[in-house]
Structure 1
Amino acid sequence: MDPDKKSFRQRLRKLRPDVYERQEANALKRDIALKLRSLRDAADMTMEEVAAKSKMSLALIKRMEALAGPLASLTSIDQYVTACGGHWELVIRHGHKPEPTED
């Protein structure tokens, strides 16, 4: 990358620190929500079908796929993933958090 060119994230951080902080705070939630939605799409299922198969409410499924808001419990994530015929794993590492990649 050209050292004089700043990424969108760098410009956002400088110009709108409030928005940048909100995005950073929701990064994990957003990543999980996008992965759940991708899994549901790959399974060719509707939200209603996931709700029925997982025995969770449609409102909860919608909250789990929302890009912001509270994180779902590990139990709810497991029920969702199982309903879609997927699998998941939790990885915990010691050390510094890696920098996010540009999309």
Structure 2
Amino acid sequence: MSELVNIAGTGEGCPVCDGAGPFTSDAAAIAHMGQHNARALAWAYLQEKAIVQRILVELDEPGGITAEDEIDELIKEVELVAGESSARRAAPY
């Protein structure tokens, strides 16, 4: 079945909340995520985009990423910045 949730763990959970998922279909994922407010979804999208971009930039550097723990460190780096963001502190998600 062609479903986005089947691509590399996409359906494992919701980018906004912990505990949701795994989703068995795109429709189930959308139904769940649609319950979140737009601000929470926008924040989750921005943070996920930052993680992907940070990893892509590092992959493009000479030597790139050679171990999984390096990816974990990059994710932690982005999460630290996200946690310090004034936009994140401004309103509850």
Q: TM-score band (shorter)?
A: 0.3 to 0.5
State the TM-score, normalized to the length of structure 2: 0.32
**Which fold has the larger relative contact order, with Cα–Cα distance below 8 Å and residues 6 or more apart in sequence?**
1
Structure 1 or 2: more helix by fraction:
2
